[in-house]
Amino acid sequence: MYIILNIHFHYVVAEIYLLSNNNNILGENLRYTIPNNNSHSLEYFAKKFKVGLRNLLAANPDIDLYLPDSGKPILIPKKLILPNTPHKGIIINIAEMRLYYYPNTKNNNIVMVFPISIGTPTHETPSQWITSIKDKKKDPIWIPTQNIRNEYIKRAEILPLMILSGPNNPLGSYALYLGNSYAIHGSNTNLGIGLRVTRGCIRLRTEDIKLLYTLVPLNTRVQFINEPIKIAIDSNGMQYLEIHTPLSTINNKQDNKTATIHNLKIRTYTMLQKNNFKNINFLKVNQALEECLGIPIEITT
């Protein structure tokens, strides 16, 4: 059974990329200048360009999160390397906070990419897990776990046993259930997409989860990975490296960060060697490891 993608242009909210057999590097980055007399936070521009907040921050490390300077040029990270996984179903790379959906279309030649939020360091999202869409619900009911209710009790707040769909339901209007109390769902605030803010579930913007809910059938394969390093060679033989800040360095002590970055460097060098990358510009490799911009960097000499 094939999915017929009949989506009007005004309804397209995901990034849709055409796949090529010989190229796992897709898209092109955009350049944009913050308008004069800007009064919007970076969140506004992340939503405007359909990217995650952390991805936009990583690509523009000197930008003001709360009020970007008027007239400031920024880079919109649209170019990416596909994760090294089967091009099937849903792939969730928590390291880059992106969800990839490979629809079962007639030619299997597209991938849809959505920015996501993932679990906080104390409520981690699974990092290595293969599951499937067990159930789908419109206007889902939220049933908080006992652990969640205990957290609220510590703040002198009492949660009801269940919360119906509406403005107080953090699941939003749509949910795709994965088993083990995890779900891909929307939000009642539509804020913080691209950050570590959930209790382990995958959160999407309202318009994104609506589209995903419409397109994704039950029993669709879902794979979670945690891969901050992605490499690829384009159709012209140019070699690329994409590095994302490892999740373990966020909100962590400096000594642990140093060890993690060192391990990231070893893993990157090993990956390049195993995949027979040659004529490598190691100055560019080291710079990519230091900056972690989250965009493909060409590393061929």
* Domain ranges across the chain: 89-225, 230-298
Let me know if 201 is a catalytic residue: yes
Q: Which range (9-23, 29-43, 92-106, 187-201) has the least confidence?
A: 9-23
pLDDT tens-digit profile of 236-271?
Answer: 999 999 999 999 755 555 556 677 888 999 999 999
Let me know if 292 is a catalytic residue: no
Given this model, what pLDDT does residue 274 score?
Answer: 97
Do residues 261 and 249 touch, judged by C-beta distance below 8 A? yes
Given this model, what pLDDT does residue 250 score?
Answer: 57
- Residue whose structure tokens are 């309804």: 11
Given this model, what pLDDT does residue 4 score?
Answer: 44
- Please pick, among 201, 244, 262, 292, the residue that the annotation labels catalytic: 201
> How many Å apart are CA 33 and CA 73, to the nearest integer?
4
Asked if residue 190 has pLDDT above 80, the reply is: yes
Quote the radius of gyration of the chain (alpha carbons, Å): 20
Nearest partner of 268 among 233, 300, 231, judged by Cα:
231
The average confidence (pLDDT) of the chain is 92
Given this model, what pLDDT does residue 6 score?
Answer: 47
With pLDDT > 90 as the criterion, what percentage of the chain qualifies? 83
More confident residue, 9 or 224: 224
pTM over the 0.85 mark: yes
Q: How confident is the model at residue 16 (pLDDT cuts 50, 70, 90)?
A: very high
- Please pick, among 8, 10, 40, 185, the residue that the annotation labels catalytic: 185
Asked if residue 124 has pLDDT above 80, the reply is: yes
CATH architecture of 89-225: Beta Barrel (2.40)
Do residues 27 and 81 touch, judged by C-beta distance below 8 A? no
Given this model, what pLDDT does residue 255 score?
Answer: 56
Asked if residue 141 has pLDDT above 60, the reply is: yes
Given this model, what pLDDT does residue 107 score?
Answer: 84
Q: Which range (12-21, 47-56, 239-248) has the least confidence?
A: 12-21
Given this model, what pLDDT does residue 46 score?
Answer: 98
Q: How confident is the model at residue 81 (pLDDT cuts 50, 70, 90)?
A: very high
- What contacts 24+ positions apart, CB below 8 Å, involve 171-175? 171/140, 171/142, 172/203, 172/206, 172/209, 173/138, 173/139, 173/140, 173/206, 173/209, 173/210, 174/136, 174/137, 174/138, 174/140, 174/209, 174/210, 174/212, 174/213, 175/136, 175/137, 175/140, 175/209, 175/213
Given this model, what pLDDT does residue 260 score?
Answer: 80
pLDDT tens-digit profile of 148-173?
Answer: 999 999 999 999 999 999 999 999 99
